Amino acid sequence: MYPTGQQISFHAAVQDPLMVDPKETTQNGGGISQAEFALFTSNRIQSDLEAMGIKLKLHEDNLKFLKAQKTKLDESILDLQVHMNKLNPSGPPRSENCDANLQGEDINEQILRQANSAAGVLAHVQSRHSSQMTLTKGVVGVVAKLGKVHDENLSQVLSVYLGTRSMLALVCKDYDSVKGLESYDSQGNVDRNAGLHGLASSIGRTIEGHFDAISLENLRPYVGQYIAGDPQRRLNLLKPKLPNGEYPPGFLGFAVNMIQIDPAYLLCVTAYGHGLRETLFYSLFSRLQVYKKRGDMISALPCISEGAVSLDGGIVRTGGILTLGSSDEVKVRFAKPSASRAMDNHSEAERQMKELKQKKEKTLEDIKRTQVLRDHAVYNFGKKKDEFVRFLAQSASTSMSQ
């Protein structure tokens, strides 16, 4: 490899030629010394390695950027699917144990039919006895009236998930408002002549059984970010991912974000400035996931931590408890909102979906191409690195043998 009769030191391979001991180098007819040749070769290989390293990092940065872009496109496609699901309901309501009278019935009528419930008494008093409303001034409303759902099948399964008792729960601003609903005698028994029971008695009714009253200020609110630019102030929850990193097929969104809330209740319902979504509905649903079909929901079990429902009636509760069999009769469901002028029409949503999918396909092609370039750069860098290691080893061996 080198001219015969020349000596080379391993250290000389990385020294400046001017610092090389003259005793360790000789001239061969005015040519370059062995030490200088070794230094030149070392510098050349190191320069090649540096250039290759820069090129490799460029490919890796590009790959990282493209993968992040794909993730954003996946999220945008998923969000648009949720929006399109609202524009295009899943179909006619499932008939299984669904009261036909609820279809198209006003939510107030649904509640008034529960005549001997606290919600039924409250609805009756609010509609016909406004002079007696002092007692209930701290009551925000009934759960079933405070949210609306675009899809009737979703409304049905969410109502089953919560149960009639929760759907008819009275929502109060604070605990003082809750205390005003019921009083007790010295024995701890309910005083039927006071509070909401007294109102029921005054209209010839009796509140049967237990009923729930929710104090908004005593609920632990959601702490986190909101979806930017969303007038409904939906919660920016982390979307579920399967072990392979992909979003589960059929995932439509989180139940807490699929409830439409009256603008009056989006902000400052409590003294701390919280609205109904981050207090009431986050408490009721937490991170309950919604899927298109039961099969999609079952396939996504590895990434379901706080329950899930499907539009065809499937229910998975927290802790991996699956609800099987026929559902109970749905007595009260969330109302369906009227069409919003601000909502994009379905054809526009389809156009956006087509555009997003085209961008995703192009990004996937760019990822494959960049991956090939990156793998080729890694291979070349490895070969050059091996060449440098062999050169150093050979230089050290030659120096030691001489």
Tens digits of per-residue pLDDT, 63-77? 889 888 888 888 778
Residue 31, pLDDT > 90, answer no
Q: How many domains does the chain contain in total?
A: 2
Task: Tell me: do 73 and 115 sit in the same domain.
Answer: no
| Pick from 242, 222, 229: nearest CA to 285 | 222
Tell me if 137 is assigned to some domain.
yes
Cα 321 from Cα 315, distance rounded (Å): 9
User: Is the distance from CB of 6 to CB of 26 less than 8 angstroms?
Assistant: yes
The pLDDT tens digits of the residues spanning 140-149 come to 989 999 999 8
**pLDDT band per the 50, 70, 90 thresholds, residue 11:** very low
Do 209 and 314 belong together in one domain? yes
- Same domain for 391 and 258: no
Domain presence at residue 174: yes
Residue 116 lies in a domain: yes
Q: Flag whether 221 is in a domain.
A: yes
The answer to whether residue 370 is domain-embedded is yes
Is the CB of residue 398 less than 8 Å from the CB of residue 11? no
Asked if the model's pLDDT at residue 310 lies above 90, the reply is: yes
Total residue count of the chain as it appears in this document: 402
Token pair 């003082």 is found at 176
Query: Letter for the amino acid at 380?
Result: N
Could you tell me which residue, 356 or 311, shows the higher pLDDT?
311
Q: Which residues fall within 8 angstroms of residue 347, CB to CB, at 6 or more apart? A: none
Q: Are residues 276 and 391 in the same domain?
A: no
Residue 153 and residue 288 share a domain: yes
The reply to whether 278 and 195 lie within a common domain is yes
Q: Minimal CA–CA distance to 73: which of 360, 397, 368?
A: 360
Give the domain range for residue 77. 56-86+359-400
Asked whether residue 179 falls in the same domain as residue 263, the answer is yes
Q: What is the pTM of this model?
A: 0.66
Check whether residue 325 and residue 369 sit in a common domain.
no
Structure tokens at 388: 């440098």
The pLDDT assigned to 107 comes to: 83
Domain with 277 in it: what CATH number?
3.30.70.1620
User: Residues 267, 232: one domain?
Assistant: yes
Of 291, 321, 326, nearest to 306 by C-alpha is: 321
Could you say which of 291, 320, 335 is where a domain stops?
335
Q: Which of 300, 335, 370 is the last residue of a domain?
A: 335
Q: Domain check: are 286 and 379 in the same one?
A: no
Q: Are residues 298 and 369 in the same domain?
A: no
Assigned domain for 6 exists: no
Question: Which amino acid is present at 5?
Answer: G
Looking at the structure, tell me whether residues 131 and 251 fall in a common domain: yes
Residue 306 lies in a domain: yes
Within a domain: residue 202? yes
The average pLDDT across 118-127 equals 85
Which among 287, 300, 214 is positioned nearest to 251, based on CA atoms? 300
Q: Which residues contact 296 (CB under 8 A, 6 or more apart)?
A: 248, 249, 250, 251, 310
pLDDT per position as a tens digit, 168-221: 999 999 999 898 888 888 888 988 888 888 888 888 888 888 999 999 999 999
**Residues 186, 395: Cα–Cα separation, whole Å:** 100
Q: What confidence category does residue 91 fall into, taking pLDDT thresholds of 50, 70 and 90?
A: low
